[in-house]
Structure 1
Amino acid sequence: MMTLTGKKIFLRALEPEDLDFLYLLENDETIWEVSETQVPYSRYILKEYLKNSHKDIYEVKQLRMAIADFDQKLLGFIDLFDFCPKNKRAGVGIVILETSQRNRGIGTEALQLLTDYAFAHLGVHQLYANIAVDNTASIKLFSNLGFKEVGVKKDWNFTGGVFKDEILYQKINNS
């Protein structure tokens, strides 16, 4: 049976009550480099986003899930994006908001749950992640879960006045 529940966390659909957390996350300039955000988001825009978050992945080509602990505390989000049913692939991204919650296995568990879900439930053949060359935490996370480095995009992102390479990681479902 497919489940989105692990030992420490579970993945769930977005709720209207997630607005304050989403507002903090989307307006946290320290992670804009990862999300390619360039301007703050208003509460109104995020409220509209939450109203439409129930739409089917086949329609909107993305799926965002909340990462929560068993006390219902919201810890972060994990996304499938650029979902392509024809080619059976999707990009994946993850963010844990509070640094105190990082390096505790939460990201590992969330990524494993989402990977299993994408392969088993959505019939995805491959997942990929784009990771900045200096994002050692994400490189370790994805590598530990079987994602392989398949290429480097030179000078891909312009951040902090400098160009940075981005590494493409891929995991293919061979089952």
Structure 2
Amino acid sequence: MNIKGRFVTLRAVEEDDLEMLRDMMNDSDMEQYVVGWSFPVSKEQQHNWYINLLTDSKSKRFIIETKDDGAVGIVTLTDIDWKNRSANHGIKLANRKNRTKGIGTDAVMALMRYTFDELGLHRLDGAWFDDNVASKGLYTKCGWSVEGVRREYVFKGGQFKDLAIVGVLASDYYALIEKNHYWD
């Protein structure tokens, strides 16, 4: 089953996607926005990641596709807690030109609909660097709220950076789509 947005499709990760994903992981421009530590990823490491992905019941990762450009990124649910009905979420778009077209918004909205309507989860969690204007804009538009800030939490680019802790509840999502009629 593919997950449909207004104009994106979220689908399972296939072996054919590994090169695009590896290119994203090795993109130094993108790395500055990634929370955590990144190392160059080899083809073998990427393949091993894919093999582990196939059997991971606590993570779901989906390729973001558009009709015109094909695979353009990845959206994730990780650390799924089936008892407390929560998960962490992330997104990466492979090409800068795709970062202002509404692709991220549609992918996040589609993932939230799937998460809350199909999986029955209650909340999604995330984090971004406090100075990441693009992430703030995307997630605010999608109904997410900043729930706190971890001051000087991540060492990146030779300095400590604040990390915004964010989340969205199913009720936030339903209020948003009632207000903005996203799926009408």
Q: Same fold (TM over 0.5)?
A: yes
Query: Identity of aligned pairs, percent?
Result: 32
Aligned residue type for 1:165: D
CA deviations on 1:148-170 (whole Å, 9 max, x unpaired) are 11111111111111111111111
1:158 maps to: 155
2:53 maps to: 53
Deviating more after overlay: 65-74 vs 107-116: 65-74
- The within-5 A match list for 1:78-89 is 78-89=75-86
1:128 correspondence with 2:120: no
TM-fit CA distance, 1:15: 0.6
Deviating more after overlay: 68-77 vs 21-30: 68-77
Structure 1 distance, partners of 2:170, 2:5, is 21
Q: Which runs of 5+ in 1 are unaligned?
A: none
1:11 maps to: 10
Structure-1-length-normalised TM-score:
0.90
- The within-5 A match list for 1:87-102 is 87-102=84-99
Structure 2 distance, partners of 1:19, 1:107, is 20
1:172 correspondence with 2:140: no
Q: Report the aligned-residue RMSD.
A: 1.7
Structure 2 distance, partners of 1:109, 1:142, is 11
Aligned residue type for 2:71: L
Measured at CA, do residues 106 and 122 of structure 1 come closer, stay the same or move farther in structure 2, by a change above 3 Å? same
* Number of aligned residue pairs: 171
Structure 1 distance, partners of 2:16, 2:68, is 15
* Contact 1:82/1:91 (8 A) holds in 2: yes
TM-fit CA distance, 1:138: 0.5
The DSSP-based 3-state class of the residue aligned with 1:86 is coil
1:24 maps to: 23
Aligned residue type for 2:40: P
Structure-2-length-normalised TM-score:
0.86
Structure 1 distance, partners of 2:51, 2:2, is 24
* Contact 1:16/1:51 (8 A) holds in 2: no
TM-fit CA distance, 1:3: 6.2
TM-fit CA distance, 1:50: 2.1
Structure 1 distance, partners of 2:140, 2:105, is 10
* Partner of residue 68 from structure 1, selected from 65, 70, 75: 65
Structure 1 distance, partners of 2:124, 2:88, is 6
TM-fit CA distance, 1:29: 2.1
TM-fit CA distance, 1:40: 0.9
Aligned residue type for 2:86: R
* Partner of residue 111 from structure 1, selected from 108, 112, 130: 108
The DSSP-based 3-state class of the residue aligned with 1:80 is strand
1:39 maps to: 39
Q: Which runs of 5+ in 2 are unaligned?
A: 175-184
Structure 2 distance, partners of 1:123, 1:162, is 39
